[in-house]
Structure 1
């Protein structure tokens, strides 16, 4: 009878190590050795399928990586200064990057939503000028997207109202992706 402590995870770890050091509990037991051989064949087939799929896939547009990096640069930079109500001779402001961080935090707080990007459209440097906010999210597969989008809109609107002096005209939500919950993650 096979050793019950030899789990699939243990077999996978042993295979990952290149079968070194030699494990007689696995190698000398016919059932465990058979499972190890099956796992090795499965990995070989999987690798071949992935390689074939990659070979058949069209070459990515060379501008694609540039557009991704441009979006990262835009999100990472501090951006424009957004004035706050001044006290006496002191001029206060928030950076656009700080506001985007606030939007991201508010959107990510909605269960099942992940903020991909956000932008502020309008003259944020002119006090009282209406600004539109666009938030692109990834929604958890299986969730009812219209309700999630409304919850993200509400969370972002409330955060901006509480923590900025922006005159928010609208918060537009774009669902740009759908994602799966990672194995072992909790909602």
Structure 2
């Protein structure tokens, strides 16, 4: 790992460490977005050990300072959700570029990471697809149970189908190795047929 990469990952972690939302894991309490960013990096290392620096930064910065733009600040419904998501992607991309500049990354490097975070051209850009794969795998491994508690099985089935369609065949295979709760596994099995 280069010094610049270590520095920018540290800056991202410092930014996410002040998230006022706290998650409790089996062994600690941790800022929500710091935990998410660590999970993204861990999953990327597992799924794509040869990931470029750009991809490593994009994965770590995927939700940088997300709490500063809560969903509740936007109108309810699909159009409000889409506006929130598109503005978040731009915000995360800009924050990542700012921190990369502090770590002395070139403008070209910053633009590439912004491109990845904004999930452009996933079907034509292998790194964009890999980032989306990691997002989906982290969701399925760490967050699907919470969605199951909040949503009816039909809605959860729809979420699983949409998630599955975004994933590459390699990520779909990786997802099948996750140790899901029995009820979640049944929904996934039904959703992917």
TM-score, length-scaled by structure 1: 0.32
Q: Kindly indicate which of the two structures has a greater share of residues assigned to strand.
A: 1
TM-score, length-scaled by structure 2: 0.31
Q: Kindly indicate which of the two structures has a greater share of residues assigned to helix.
A: 2
Higher Rg:
1
Query: Which structure has the higher relative contact order (CA within 8 Å, separation 6+)?
Result: 2
